[in-house]
Structure 1
Amino acid sequence: MTKNITHPADDLAKSLKRTEIQHSSSSIPGRDIVQVLTEIPVGVESGWHTHPGEEVGYLLTGRVQMRIQDKPTLILEAGDGFLIEPGTPHNALDLGPDTGRMLSCYIVEVDAPVASFVKEPAAQ
């Protein structure tokens, strides 16, 4: 198990503060479980991205707009949870007034980057 490694090796780590809390093998063959604390400053977007597995998240602090392809836009307040399906493009925007801090667990393919940027989906 890896503890407290700042900036996991994925695309989002280039624009947001991300701290990997733990990274362990899963009981699901070919999958790892990665837990990450992400901090999004006020007015900053994550950028459209995907994950190679489920993201199960919880907003610790702040107010965040979560846009998920083919789903209604969510406004998450501290204490709200969310689930994003594998490979689904999404984008988080911190609405303020405080830094958004979210704790996410990813059930991802072994050796795949936890996050990869994608183009913004066409409006529907």
Structure 2
Amino acid sequence: MASEPTTTTDGPVDELASKLRRTVLQHEPSSIPGREIVQVLTEIPCGVESGWHIHPGEEVGYIAAGTVEMSIQDRPTLTLRTGEGFLIPPRTPHNALDLGPDTGRMLSTYVVEIGEPVTTLVDPPRR
């Protein structure tokens, strides 16, 4: 049974916490030993970035609204539009930038290690 939706930053509070809205839709045990499933709706206003971060498991994402530039370490930058999906490997630094003109909405499902923070901010990769 899904828990009641809540807004969370899932990590250290920073200046982005006041710009992004992350709503946890589900947080449930997985059938995979040592893993749990967390589903989050993230809303990013035009011109705002998520900040470089990692997750302790896969992120399977879907752009529900808007156009998002997804930078993933050691991969070409993606421009994702409404209706497109993406996959980010575990512990891979990445950053999402909403290109506008409206607020972007991403639905992400994480299959992550139990007891680890779902999101950890990291330094941007060196280019």
TM-score class, shorter: over 0.9
> How large is the RMSD of aligned CA atoms in angstroms?
1.4
Q: 2:31 aligns with which of 1, 4, 27?
A: 27
Q: Which runs of 5+ in 2 are unaligned?
A: none
Give the Å deviation of 1:9.
2.8
Matches within 5 A, 1:43-122: 43-122=47-126
Letter matched to residue 86 of structure 2: F
Deviation at 1:8, TM superposition (A): 5.0
Name the SS of the counterpart of 2:64 in structure 1. Answer: strand
Deviations 1:39-68 (A, max 9, x none): 000000001000000000000000000000
Q: Return 5+ residue gaps in structure 1 as ranges.
A: none
Identity across the alignment (%): 62
- 1:5: which partner in 2? 6
| Partner deviation per Cα, 1:82-103 (whole Å, 9 max, x = no partner) | 0000000000000000100000
TM superposition score normalised by structure 2 = 0.92
> CA offset at residue 11 of structure 1?
4.0
